[in-house]
Amino acid sequence: MLRHLLDSLSRPQVVIRGSNPDWLRALGPGAAVWRRLGPYSVVHATKLGVPPTWRKRFVIPLFEHHTRTMPRPCWALIPSPEAIHVFKEKDGFLDYAKAQGLADYLPEHYEIAAPRFPAVLKRTNLNAGDGIVVVESAEELARRLGEKPWADNPVLLQEVILGEAEEVAHLVCVGGRIRWWAAFAYPLESPREIRKVSQTSEMVRVGLGAEDIAVFERFLLPVGFDGPAAVNYKRRADGRVAIFEFNARFGGSLMRPQHIDDLEAALRVVLAEAKWQEAAR
């Protein structure tokens, strides 16, 4: 019994920072993936934090804002605040893509004062597919801009990308280089459908070519991106990606039980490549 206690106390600690029921089922204490990964002591950190420890401590924040409140010092593979800022807001992401000469890999953006139709109207500070709708005319655009959730909020207008599926690439990166990936496609009911995260359509595993990897790294390298990321995109008729957004965190579909093999592989890279994070000053 004493040996068991000493063994338990000597295990490296993994702290999961953040709260989301689905994600905690996949990543939290007692989750099946940790039985595959070896002798870690996994705990869940609330806003009150966790007690100090003498063990090696890894931290895995669930969402971008949890990187600001995670316990430090620790070992973690996380993006810098600057990298998070680049990808967080849809309009800021557009500015970044233009500055890096990468705007061709995004849907074309239209000025509100000079729109083309059909077009996609997006509120820029929402996620999960909320605040996104296809508009067909100037009259509909004017009406939508006076309604919730778009009225008095930042918006953008962009090209409709047609496609039978929307794809997501889950990545783990070190210094902007992709060390691991898995990609899936969500079949759509129509080529113009806007996928909602709440939709539960069955995913199909798809591949990424060397050109796809090179394009993603062109977005990631300038900010030296560390950690998990999820890229949502459709493919144009010629196969090129049209990127809707980068999320500087794990993607939600990786938390589904059927993807435990991929989650395990991603976590192995996150833990192996974790970097020392100094205590906040």
Identify the pLDDT of residue 55. 85
Identify the pLDDT of residue 89. 76
Identify the pLDDT of residue 4. 47
Q: Supply the angle between the helices 81-88 and 90-99 in degrees, to the nearest 10.
A: 110
CB atoms closer than 10 angstroms to residue 97? 20
Whole-angstrom distance, CA of residue 281 vs CA of residue 269? 28
pLDDT digits (tens, 9 = 90+) for 33-67: 999 998 999 999 876 567 667 789 999 999 999 99
pLDDT digits (tens, 9 = 90+) for 189-217: 888 888 766 555 689 999 999 999 999 99
CB atoms closer than 10 angstroms to residue 187? 13
CA dihedral 215, 219, 224, 225 (to 10 degrees): -90
For each successive 10 residues of the chain (281 residues), what is the average pLDDT?
Answer: 53 93 95 95 79 85 94 95 90 90 96 93 79 93 94 92 95 98 94 71 91 98 98 95 95 95 98 92 58
Length, in residues, of the chain: 281
Q: Write out the two tokens for 95.
A: 């500015």
Whole-angstrom distance, CA of residue 125 vs CA of residue 149? 11
Identify the pLDDT of residue 2. 47
Identify the pLDDT of residue 103. 95
Whole-angstrom distance, CA of residue 270 vs CA of residue 185? 24
Q: Write out the two tokens for 100.
A: 């890096």
